[in-house]
Structures are given as C-alpha cells and as structure tokens.
Amino acid sequence: MLVTVHGSGQGQVLYDVRFPNAVHHEAEISVTFADLPARPLELRMSRSSPGRYALHEFAKNVYAVRAVGAGGEALRVTRPNPYQWDVPEHGDTVRVSYTLFADRAGGTYSQVDETHAHFNIPATFMWARGLGDREIRVAFHPPEGSGWQVATQLMPTDDPMTYTAPNLYYFLDSPTELSAFSMRQWTIASGDTVRMAVHHAGTEEEVDRFVEWTKRVVQQEIAVFGEPPDFDGGTYTFIADYLPYVSGDGMEHRNSTILSSTQSLGGAGRGLLGTVSHEFFHAWNVERIRPRSLEPFDFERANMSGELWFAEGFTSYYTQLLIRRAGLTTDADYARTLGGGLSFVTNAAGRRYFSPVEMSMQAPFVDAATAVDPNNRGNTFISYYTWGSVIGLNLDLTLRSRFEKSLDGFMRSVWVRFGKTEIPYTIDDLQQTLARFTGDDDFAEDFFARFIRGREVPDYAALLANAGFLLRPAQPDAAWMGTMNLQYRDGSARLAGMPPEGSPLYEAGVSRGDRILSMDGQVLENASTLRQILGAHRPGDRVEVMFEQRGRNKTVMMLLAPHPQLEVVLYEDAGMTVTPEMTAFRAAWTEAATNGV
C-alpha cells in the first residue's frame, strides 16, 4: 500500500455534495482525484451494496457527467460499459462532476428532497478503480436554512459538514442522512456511544419512548454475546427515517444501520422494534462474524454466500426472542411469531429442491431483485431468513434440552473465534465450533448433515414441548384448496401466481394465469364467495371446478385437503398443564439474561 501524507490533501479523494434542485430529487456531486498515476482513470458506479445480494444498476440515475483537469480544461470521457466512465488522457488531477437523481429512501437507494438527503453510498458516489486504499473526505453543503445535520458512521472532522473515511471500502459501507432529525445518545458497557437519529414527523416524546425500548433491546443483545463489538470511532449510529414517503427497509453496516418505514412512531408503537433488534444483532453477526464468501465484498458484481441461513437466519431467530427478553412482548406474543415461521418452513414445497445452504445462494435472485418474467419461487424457494430462523430455534432448544447449554453460548463461541478476531468463517468452521462447544463431534456432524446441508425438519412439537409451547394445526377442520393470490374480475377468479405444489388446485391441474369460472356450481365473485364454499365443505370432499386455461374451458373434480397452517400457543392457553420443569426451561429461554452484562 502506498503511504500518503494525510491532511495535506495529497492522495486524498475529495467529494463535494450540493443540492440546488432538491425539490426535484437531484444532488450535484463532484469528486477530485489528485496524484493520479499515468494510466486511464476508470470511474465506476457500484452494481451491488453491502448487505444486499442482487444487482442494482445505480449508474442509471447518474447524468451530466463531466471531467476537467487541474486548470479546468475539459477532458474526454468514454463509456466502455454501462457502469463505467473512462478518462483516457489526463494529468495529475481530475475533477469529475455529475447529477444524481434519487427518490427512494431505504437501505439500498438514496432520496433527495427539501426534507432530507438520504444517501446509500454505493447508490450515490462514483469511485475510481485502483484507488480504493486512499483516504476519502466528503463535504456536504445543505440547502440554505434547511437546518440539516449529518448522521453517519463516517469519521467527523472539525467542520460539522465534513467527514472522512479511511478507504473506499469503509466509505461505501457508510450510509449518511442529512436532515433536521432528532438525536439521542447513550453509553454502553464498553464505554462506546450509541446514537439514534430519527427523521420523522412525530413528537420528541415518541422519540424518547422509542429510544428507551431500543436501549432495553440493545442490552439484551449485548448479553447474548457477553460484550458489545469494539465500534470504530467508539460510536454506533441508528439512522431512522419514519416517514410516509420512504420505503420500508433495514440495512446493517459496520458501525451503523438504516431503519426506514412508512409507519410513524406513534402509529406503529413497538412494531418498529423488529428492525432495531435485527440490525443491531448484525453488528456482531455478519459485520464482524463474517462469512468468507463475502470477503471482500465485490461492488462490481453479485456476491454469493451459502451462509445466509446463519448470517440472516440466526439473526432473525434472535430478532423477536430479544424483544421478548427485553420485556417488551409476552411469551404468548413470542409463541405467535414462532407459529408463522414453523408453518411456512414445514409446509413449503421448496424443501424438495434446495437445502438452507442452497437457498442462501439464491439471494441474488430474491434480495430486492426485480425481474419482469414470472418464476416458480413459491414452490422452489424458502427464505433463508425464515428457514435459518427455525434452524436457530431447533439448535437452541436442542442445546438446552440435550446439553444444558444454549444458542447464546454457541454464538459467544463463534464471536470469540471469528468475530472479535475478524477471521472470516466457513460452514465447516461453524460445524467445528459446534462440535467443540458441545464436546460432541457426532452431534455437530449429524446436525449440519441433516438440517444445514440437508433438507430435514426436526420434530418441532417435541422440542417446543420442553418449554410448554404447543405446536398444532391452526384450523384442523377447515377445507383447503391451496393458499393463492386470486384476482377477482368479471365474475371469475384468476390465479396471479403458481398454486402451491401438491395443493388441491395444483393436483387438479389449475395453474398460473387460469381463470376459475365456477366452483361447486357457484361463480367466484369475490373472496367471501370462496370462503363460503370452502366453509360448507370438509377436508376430503370433492368440489367441481370449471376454469379457463389458455383459451380452453375445463371441468375437474377437486379433492379438498385439510388446512396445513400451524400455530404455536402456550400450554396454559390450550388448557394443558405446565410442569415446573417446563416453567424453568421457558424462563431460561425467553426471560432476560441476568448475568449483569
């Protein structure tokens, strides 16, 4: 690495950001490169963003690109591909300027208007290939009278509108919000500061209440790992946008996170804590406990990882559990959230095709990916968030019932070996850590073979019974034809997607795009007609279905199935006895850690 003299500007990359047309969602951005080597300057817009796995063509919102030399003379710019601008001949210094259009605030994109400039860095800033080690300095120039401040994990300088990053990699990981936000901050056990910047239209009291809840969740998360991460610059920043014109999202970064929702703090109440809990957990799991497959993150192409069942899935397992441990929900609430995930994973046809590792590898097609051609993902894909989360449940309850250990202890082992040290891990590393943690190689090998590399689902009812949680069919007597998005129009119901594989509709040969003209002799006017027909039948009954498929009318007899939906309820709420053993097991699992961390 080239040693550069900091502070003199030599070798530094200098960005300058202005907002002459904020009302129409434009930012004027320039970047100056000095001490350039004598080869063509290759300027890129990123195609991916940290924490996202699909490709995003950020270059499409960049225009009016110009390059000038040290004396202001115009330089020739060529376009070798859609994401790149080359300056073939230049001197020591090049200044590039462009206009950015941005009107989608969330974890992936940017938004500029008169209320804020919300920047996801890869969606915003052009960078130069081969200069990634250089220090970056960015100066923001908010509109006159806007009252904007800056919330970011970038490093502060003496000027409140100027920030630095040690290199391009850190810069691209540092989302930045400029607005008249409310700010709260507090100190955690390590002495580091946690800040929460909230840009919203509500009251200061709502912010205070939300920050109090957040503190309780943060404390429970620290208790899982035994210590907070050592945040760069001694600070972690929650950047929240709760406004009707943003897009709901949550995106983790090394020392910060973006939280966005169209809901208000007043309206959503504790509903907005899920992303707080999830994203802060990522400060350990994925930001520092890092899969080798994502190191280093490639900003020019899709990144594939077979570990997302752990990075996202185990994080999802803890999302609701830690809100429960923070005392902000009840065991009954927690049981309800478990039911949804277990029902989905247990019933999903996708288990016939791919393991959790293989599901993780499909992230480039599902993680905020867009396409116009339809797919059969409903039958072939199970989110690694959901599947990973029930694997976390499986492992936690197994460790507790069989080893008198817990997933918290396993996570701490992973943290010590791979997180604190920042040694990227592989799936084999996780298996070895589990073997060492339990002292049982066979158990670890069997668990990974069946549930991680394989596609098995354990006996969740038996696992949950340890805690007096009951897994059961939610509607055992209800007749079911396949959960379907139906579009009702002109006295028919059109299948908007693929029917679930193996469902009565699927078996009857009714498929995507077909229009159901009548069922059981009745025209399907709307959802309530359908409910009525199904309500009048029992699983095992046959009903006549007339439908139109690719211009031909067909009639079939459809065999109705029992509704497969599962739910989790507490034993006491199902009129069953909770033993003292169950009470103790449950308390150790869902109640606040008392280790005083």
In the bound state with Zn ion, the residue whose beta carbon lies nearer, of 285 and 347, is 285
Q: How far is the CB of 257 from Zn ion (least distance, A)?
A: 10
> How many whole angstroms separate alpha carbon 358 and alpha carbon 361?
5
CA 379 to chain centre: 22
Determine how many CB atoms are found less than 10 A away from the CB of residue 576. 14
Nearer to Zn ion, 152 or 315 (CB): 315
Residue 550 CB-density burial (10 A; 0-12 exposed, 13-18 middle, 19+ buried): exposed
Q: Which is closer to Zn ion, CB of 109 or CB of 280? A: 280
Q: Whose Cβ is closer to Zn ion: residue 312's or residue 514's?
A: 312
- Give the DSSP H or E segment for 171: helix 168-172
- In angstroms, the CA 50 to CA 451 distance is 27
Residue number with CB closer to Zn ion (32 or 275) = 275
What SS3 state is found at 137? strand
CB of 282 to Zn ion, least distance (A): 6
Residue carrying the six token digits 């990699």: 169
State the nearest-atom distance from the C-beta of 55 to Zn ion, in Å.
19
**How far is 193 from 195, CA to CA, in rounded Å?**
6
Residues that bind Zn ion (CB under 5 A): 312
Nearer to Zn ion, 113 or 312 (CB): 312
Q: What does the alpha-carbon distance between residue 132 and residue 166 come to, in Å, rounded to a whole number?
A: 10
Residue 165 vs 363, nearer CB to Zn ion: 363
Backbone angles phi, psi at 433, to 5 degrees: -65, -35
- Distance from C-alpha of 574 to C-alpha of 212, rounded to nearest angstrom: 34
Complex with Zn ion: residue 12 or 48, whichever CB lies closer: 48
Q: Please state the closest distance from residue 320 (CB atom) to Zn ion, in A.
A: 13
How far apart, in whole angstroms, are the C-alpha atoms of residue 472 and residue 451? 22
Residue 186 C-beta: closest distance to Zn ion, Å:
23
For the chain, the C-alpha Rg in angstroms (whole number) is: 27
Nearest to 306 by CA among 364, 347, 348, 372: 364
Strand partners, 86: 42, 78
Q: Which of 172, 299, 175, 315 is nearest to 239 (CA)?
A: 175
Nearer Cβ to Zn ion (142/313): 313
Q: Least distance to Zn ion from the beta carbon of 591, Å?
A: 25
Give the residue with the Cβ less far from Zn ion, 223 or 363. 363
568 within 8 A of 574, measured Cβ to Cβ:
no
Q: Shortest Cβ contact with Zn ion: which residue? A: 312
How far apart CA 492 and CA 436 sit, in angstroms, is: 60
Nearest distance, CB of residue 278 and Zn ion, angstroms: 5
Q: How far is the CB of 288 from Zn ion (least distance, A)?
A: 14
Residues 6+ apart with CB under 8 A from 498: 376, 378, 379, 506, 511, 512
CB of 286 to Zn ion, least distance (A): 7
Q: Which is nearer to Zn ion, 135 or 312 (CB)?
A: 312
Residue 85 Cβ vs Zn ion, minimum distance, rounded to whole Å: 33
Q: Is the dihedral of CA 72, 76, 82, 84 positive or negative?
A: negative
Give CA–CA dist 285/65, Å, rounded. Answer: 39
Between 283 and 498, whose beta carbon lies closer to Zn ion?
A: 283
Q: Which residues pair with 100 in a beta bridge?
A: 27, 62
Say how far residue 236 (Cα) sits from the centre of its chain.
Answer: 18
- d(Cα 224, Cα 412) in Å, to the nearest integer? 7
Rounded to whole angstroms, how far apart are CA atoms 371 and 264? 31
We find the least distance from the C-beta atom of residue 312 to Zn ion, in angstroms, to be 5
Instruction: Quote the least distance from Cβ 275 to Zn ion, whole Å.
Output: 9
- Residue 95 · residue 101 · CB < 8 Å: no
